[in-house]
C-alpha cells in the first residue's frame, strides 16, 4: 500500500565533507516516486522544522543538486539543538500540518534519537509515518556500523596532514605534537598512522582516548623515539584522559598552576601547547612544536575519499528506498561484506540512538601508544583511490674527504 | 668557455609544497651537460655542505626524481642555520676540495644572502665559480619577484581552508577566528578572501600585519558583521601588531594579566584563543571559536597549485641554464608579463638578500580590515586550474502555515 505525502530531509550536528551526498541521494530518489507530493529540505536541522523553514527541493535542478553533493558542510544548514520529548512533539505537529509522511534525518547518534522519538509520537497518534536515520559523523562512533559516512574523508584529511607534517619534521627535525579530533573515540586520530610508510616515518607515537594517558610514560616514549630517530612526531586525540578520567589538559594546567601561579587556558590549541611545554621542560629539548588540526578536519574543501562519497550517496538513496518501497523505519547501517565490499541494512533506531562505539582492543597496540596492523587493514580501503604517494630520494651518499 | 666541475644543489629554510620541483628542475637540467662531472645534493642545507653530507644525484633515476618532484617538503632536508662570513668560508673550502663549480641554493632571502657571501669568497680567491639563488617562500616576501614559488600552493591551502570553514560557519553560525601564517607580510592570510564568493560569504574581515591592529576597532568590526550576517568569519595574520609595534598577543595577555594575575601563554594557538576570548567578553557572544592553520600551510600533501608546480620547476631549470649557458650569477626572479604569463630573469643577489617585500597599499582596503579587488586579480591566476567550486541550494522557500 502506497503512503502518499511529503518528504522532509534535514541535516543535524557537525557537518562533514560528504553530508550533502546523503542529502542529494535521498532527494533524488524520493523525487522519482509519484506518491511523493513534495520533497522539502528543513533549513537549520530540527530547529528549521519547528520554525517551518522549508526549502522546496522538488524545484531544485538535478544539475545543481549534483554540484551541492560534492560541496562539503551541510547545504541545508544545521543545528546543535538536542530535542527532548516536547521538542519532538512540536516537530510532529508541523509534520502533521504539512502532510509530511517521510522524514530522513542525516546525523549522529543524537539525531537518531530524535528520529526515534518523533516516530513514537506518530505511532501514538496513529499517524501513518516513515522515519529513517541516515548515519553521518567524522568520529566514526555509531554502533553496529562498520564505519560511518564522513569518517573516511576526515580520516583522509588527517592522513594527508600527517604525511605532510612527517616530511616537514624530517626536513627540519625536532618534536612535533599534532592534536586531532576525538573526545571519546580515537578513530580519527588513529588515521595519522597512514603517514608511517617507511621505518623512520612518523607518527612515532599515537595516543587515543581509549587508553589512559600518563604524562610521564608519554615523556619517556618521546625521548625513546627522539633518541632513535633524531626526531619525533606524535599524534594525540583531544580527548585523552588519565587513569582517573581527568582530561590531560586539566592535569597539565594544574601542574603549571602549582608552579607559576594562576594560569587560565582554554580553546583548541591548549592541549598541544601544554604537551609541548611539558616535553621541553621534562626532556630538555628545544625544538618542540604543536599543531591542532581543528575544524579543518570536517570542513576542508578538497580532500574527500571517493569511497566515502559513494557510500554517503548510497545511504541517502537507501533511506528513500527502505521508506518508500518497504514501508519500514530505522537507521541505515554500513556492513562490510568483503575486502572491500559493503552492504546497507536497516536496524532498529534503539540500536544506534545515544550510544557510542569506541576503537576495539585489536586496533590498539599493547603499550597503548600506537595502532596495530589490524587497524591499518580496516582503514586502508576507506581512504579511496587517490591517496598521494610520497617520493623519496635514494641515491648513494658521496664518500666525504674528511676536511674537518 | 665551458666551466667544468661539479654541481651542488641545496634546500634551505622552511619547506614548501613545491620546493622539490625546483630541486628536480635544477638536477635534471644540470645532468644534460657534459662539463658537469657530478650533481650532488647537500643533505640538510648549508649544514650538510660543511659536514660533507652529499648525495650523488647523478645516480638517481629520472623516474624517481619525478616522484620526488610532486612530493612536498625538502627531499634533501633543510636547516635553520644562517651562515655568517666564517661559515661561508667553510662552505667554500668544501666546494673547492670537491671541485664544485656550480652552487644552486633554493631558499628565501637568508639563503640568497648565503649565496652572495660564498660567491664573494670565490671571487676573492680567484676560483672560477657560478652561484645562483632559486627563490622559495610561502610568505611571498622576496623583493623584485611578482610572487615566489611555494606561495601559490600555500595560498591555495589557505583558500580551500577558508572555503570550507565559511561553509561550516554558515551551517552552524557564530564567530570563527582563523589565524594564518605571516609575521611581516600578509599575502598568505589575504588568500583567505578567495572564500568570499557570494555577498554573505566570509571571511567578512581580514587583518594583515601591514596595518596597525586595534582591538577595539576589531571588536566593533566583528559586531557589525555579526549583526549583518548573523555570523562572522575572521582571517588574522599571526604577525598583527598595534600602532606602537607591540604584537597583539602580548597586548591581550597583558590585559588578562592585569585582570587575573600571572598568565603565561605561548605557542601557535594562543593568538586566536585570546582574540576569541576578547570577542566573547566584549560583545557578549557565546559561540566564538578559533583555529590556527599552523604547519599544514606549508606541508599538507594534496593541495598544490599546478601553476606553482610548473613555475617552481622552471626556476630550478633556469638556474642551471643561466649558470651553465651564460656563466652568470644572481637570483632568479619571476616577472609577470601578461594576464597570465611569466618570464624568468636573473638579478643581482644584493637586490634580494635579507630584504622583505610587504603587501602594497592597493591590495588592502581603506579600513585596513580586508583586501581589495586588485589583490584578488593578482592572486587568482596563481591558484591554478583545479580550485574547488562551491555548490549552493537555490530552491524557493515554502510559505509557512504559521503554526506557532
pLDDT in tens, A357-371: 999 999 999 999 999
Looking at the partner chain, which of A15, A269, A301 has a beta carbon nearest the beta carbon of B160?
A301
User: Inter-chain contact A395–B11, Cβ cutoff 8 Å?
Assistant: no
Query: Cβ of B7 under 8 Å from any chain A Cβ?
Result: no
Number of Cα atoms under 13 Å in the Cβ half of residue B179: 29
* Calpha distance A46→A64 (Å, rounded): 24
Tell whether the model's pLDDT for residue A258 goes beyond 80: no
Phi–psi pair at B237, nearest 5 degrees: -80, 140
The three three-digit cell numbers of residue A116, written as one number: 526515534
Give the nearest partner residue to B73 out of A93, A167, A302, using CB atoms: A167
Q: Give the residue from B263, B398, B399 with the most A CB atoms within 10 Å of its CB, the best one to mutate.
A: B398
Cβ contact A160–B301 (<8 Å): yes
**Per-residue model confidence (pLDDT) at position B253:** 73
Inter-chain touch B52–A299, beta carbons under 8 Å: no
State the average pLDDT over residues A277-281: 92
SS3 content of chain A, % helix, strand, coil (to 5): 45, 20, 40
Q: Are B381 and B304 in contact (CB under 8 A)?
A: no
A22 reaches B (C-beta below 8 A): no
Q: How far apart are the first and last CA of chain A?
A: 90
pLDDT value of position B268: 66
Closest CA to A301 of B176, B173, B165, B234: B165
Residue among A78, A168, A300 minimizing CB distance to B295: A168
Nearest to A302 among B160, B261, B293 (CB): B160
Q: Which chain B residues contact residue A98 at CB under 8 A?
A: 401
β-partners of residue A247 are A241
The angle formed by the CA atoms of residues A33, A39 and A40, to the nearest 5 degrees, is 170
Q: Do A73 and B167 lie within an 8 Å CB cutoff?
A: yes
Model pLDDT, residue A269: 81
User: What does the pLDDT look like over A306-315, one tens digit per residue?
Assistant: 999 999 999 9
β pairing state of A232-237 and A341-347? unpaired
C-beta atoms of B267 and A263 within 8 A: no
d(C-alpha A306, C-alpha B56), whole Å:
40
pLDDT band, residue A259 (cuts 50/70/90): very low
Query: A133 or B286: whose pLDDT is higher?
Result: A133
Three-class secondary structure of residue A44 per DSSP? coil
Q: In what order do the strands lie in the sheet with A130-135?
A: A54-56, A36-42, A5-11, A100-107, A130-135, A330-338, A341-347
A330 in contact with chain B, both atoms CB, cutoff 8 A: no
Beta bridge partners of B397: A55
Average pLDDT over residues A172-178: 96
Order of strands across the sheet with B36-42?
Answer: B54-56, B36-42, B5-11, B100-107, B130-135, B330-338, B341-347
Contacts of B108 in chain A (CB under 8 A): none
Chain A, 146-165: which have a CB under 8 Å from a chain B CB?
160-161, 163-165
Mean pLDDT, rounded, of chain A:
93
Nearest-angstrom CA–CA distance, A135 and B53: 53
Quick check: A339 and A307 in contact, CB under 8 A?
no
Taking only the tens place, the pLDDT of each residue in A224-251 is 999 999 999 999 999 999 999 988 988 8
Q: Does A388 touch chain B (CB under 8 A)?
A: yes
Q: Are the C-beta atoms of A387 and A156 separated by less than 8 Å? A: yes
The verdict on A5 touching B (C-beta cutoff 8 Å) is: no
Instruction: Count other C-beta atoms under 10 Å from residue B86's C-beta.
Output: 9
Tell if the CB–CB gap between B167 and A262 is shorter than 8 Å: no
- pTM reported for the whole predicted model: 0.96
Question: Which position has the grid cell 581552508?
Answer: B161
Task: Give the per-residue pLDDT at A403.
Answer: 83
Residue with cell 565490499: A341
Q: Is A84 a catalytic residue?
A: no
Q: What are the backbone dihedrals phi and psi of residue B143, each rounded to the nearest 5 degrees, phi first?
A: -60, 160
Of the candidates A111, A95, A83, the residue with the CA atom closest to the CA atom of residue A52: A95
pLDDT at B354: 73
The helix/strand/coil state of B2 is coil
- Which ipTM score applies to this complex? 0.95
Question: Which of B29, B44, B50, B28 is CA-nearest to residue B100?
Answer: B50
Coil, helix or strand at residue B270: helix
**Contact status of A207 with chain B (Cβ, < 8 Å):** no
Mean pLDDT of A263-292: 82
Give the pLDDT band (50/70/90) at residue A2: confident
pLDDT for B36: 97
> Of the ranges A18-27, A264-273, A289-298, B138-147, which one carries the lowest mean pLDDT score?
A264-273
User: Could you list the pLDDT tens digit for every one of the 404 residues in chain B?
Assistant: 689 999 999 999 999 999 999 999 999 999 999 999 999 999 999 999 999 999 999 999 999 999 999 999 999 999 999 999 999 999 999 999 999 999 999 999 889 999 999 999 999 999 999 999 999 999 999 999 999 999 999 999 999 999 999 999 999 999 999 999 998 999 999 999 999 999 899 999 999 999 999 999 999 999 999 999 999 999 999 999 999 998 898 888 765 444 444 444 445 688 998 899 899 999 998 889 999 999 999 999 999 999 999 999 999 999 999 999 988 899 999 999 999 999 999 999 999 987 899 999 999 999 999 999 999 999 999 999 999 999 999 999 999 998 87
Residue carrying the nine cell digits 533524488? A28
Say if the Cβ atoms of A273 and B270 lie within 8 Å. Answer: yes
Task: State whether residue A243 sits within 8 Å of chain B by CB.
Answer: no
Q: Calculate the CA A21 to chain-centre distance.
A: 15
d(CA B113, CA B94) in angstroms, rounded, equals 18
Confidence (pLDDT) at B353: 83
- In this complex, the residue of B58, B72, B391 whose CB is nearest that of residue A164 is B72
Put simply, the chain B residues between 292 and 321 with a CB less than 8 A from any chain A CB are 292-296, 298-303
Search chain B and give the residue with CA nearest A288: B267
Q: What is the pLDDT of residues A200-230, one digit of tens each?
A: 999 999 999 999 999 999 999 999 999 999 9
Domains and their CATH numbers in chain A: 5-150+303-351 (3.40.50.450), 152-301+361-383 (3.40.50.460)
Is B75–A389 a contact, with Cβ atoms under 8 angstroms apart? no
**Contact at CB, B291 and A289, closer than 8 angstroms:** no
CB B43 within 8 A of CB B53: yes
Catalytic residue among A139, A141, A221, A308: A139
Give me the mean pLDDT over the A323-333 stretch.
93
Given B113, B139, B201, B221, which residue is catalytic? B139
In A110-219, DSSP assigns E strands to 130-135, 175-180, 205-207
Burial readout B109-125 (b: 16 or more C-beta within 10 A, e: otherwise): bbbbbbbbbbbebbeee
Q: Given this model, what pLDDT does residue A265 score? A: 42
What is the Cα–Cα distance from A266 to B273, expressed in whole angstroms? 7
Phi (first) and psi of residue B24, to 5 degrees: -70, -35
In this prediction, what percent of chain A has a pLDDT beyond 70? 96
Q: Is B268 on the interface with A (CB under 8 A)?
A: yes
* Alpha-carbon span A331 to A322, nearest angstrom: 10
Handedness of CA B151, B157, B163, B167 (dihedral sign): negative
Residue A59 has pLDDT above 70, yes or no: yes
3-state secondary structure of B52: coil
User: Rounded to whole angstroms, what are the CA distances from A367 to A175, A238, A323, A358, A372?
Assistant: 20, 19, 46, 18, 11
Give the integer Cα–Cα distance in Å for B137 and A178: 23
Alpha helices in B290-352 (DSSP H): 296-299, 306-326
Amino acid at each position: 500500500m502506497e503512503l502518499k505525502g511529503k518528504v522532509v530531509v534535514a541535516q543535524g550536528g557537525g557537518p562533514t565533507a560528504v553530508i550533502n551526498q546523503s542529502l542529494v541521494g535521498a532527494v533524488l530518489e524520493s523525487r522519482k516516486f509519484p506518491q511523493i507530493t513534495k520533497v522539502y529540505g528543513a533549513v537549520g536541522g530540527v530547529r528549521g522544522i519547528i520554525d517551518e523553514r522549508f526549502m522546496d527541493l522538488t524545484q531544485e535542478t538535478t544539475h545543481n543538486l549534483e554540484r551541492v553533493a560534492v560541496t562539503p558542510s551541510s547545504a541545508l544548514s544545521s543545528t546543535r539543538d538536542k530535542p527532548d520529548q516536547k521538542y519532538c512533539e512540536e516537530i510532529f505537529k508541523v509534520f502533521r500540518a504539512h502532510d509530511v509522511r517521510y522524514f530522513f534525518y542525516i546525523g549522529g547518534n543524537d539525531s537518531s534519537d530524535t528520529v526515534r522519538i518523533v516516530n513514537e509520537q506518530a505511532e501514538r497518534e496513529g499517524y501513518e509515518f516513515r522515519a529513517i536515520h541516515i548515519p553521518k559523523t567524522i568520529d566514526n562512533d555509531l554502533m553496529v556500523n562498520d564505519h560511518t559516512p564522513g569518517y573516511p574523508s576526515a580520516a583522509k584529511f588527517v592522513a594527508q596532514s600527517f604525511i605532510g607534517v612527517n616530511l616537514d619534521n624530517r626536513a627540519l627535525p625536532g618534536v612535533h605534537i599534532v592534536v586531532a579530533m576525538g573526545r571519546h573515540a580515537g578513530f580519527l586520530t588513529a588515521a595519522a598512522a597512514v603517514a608511517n610508510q617507511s621505518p623512520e616515518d612518523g607518527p612515532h607515537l599515537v595516543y587515543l582516548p581509549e587508553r589512559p594517558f600518563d604524562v610521564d610514560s608519554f615523556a619517556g616514549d618521546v625521548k625513546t623515539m627522539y633518541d632513535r630517530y633524531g626526531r619525533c612526531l606524535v599524534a594525540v586525540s583531544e580527548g585523552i584522559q588519565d587513569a582517573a578520567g581527568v582530561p590531560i589538559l586539566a592535569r597539565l594546567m594544574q601542574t603549571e598552576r602549582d608552579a607559576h601561579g594562576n594560569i587560565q587556558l582554554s580553546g583548541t590549541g591548549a592541549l598541544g601547547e601544554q604537551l609541548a611545554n611539558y616535553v621541553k621542560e621534562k626532556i630538555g629539548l628545544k625544538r618542540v612544536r604543536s599543531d591542532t588540526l581543528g575544524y579543518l578536519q570536517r570542513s576542508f574543501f578538497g580532500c574527500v575519499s571517493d569511497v566515502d562519497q559513494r557510500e554517503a550517496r548510497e545511504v541517502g538513496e537507501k533511506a528513500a528506498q527502505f521508506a518508500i518501497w518497504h514501508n519500514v523505519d530505522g537507521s541505515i547501517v554500513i556492513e562490510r561484506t568483503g575486502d572491500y565490499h559493503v552492504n546497507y541494512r536497516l536496524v532498529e533506531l534503539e540500536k544506534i540512538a545515544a550510544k557510542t562505539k569506541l576503537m576495539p582492543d585489536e586496533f590498539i597496540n599493547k603499550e597503548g601508544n600506537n595502532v596495530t596492523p589490524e587497524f591499518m587493514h580496516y582503514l586502508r580501503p576507506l581512504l579511496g583511490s587517490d591517496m598521494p604517494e610520497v617520493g623519496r630520494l635514494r641515491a648513494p651518499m658521496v664518500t666525504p674527504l674528511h676536511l674537518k
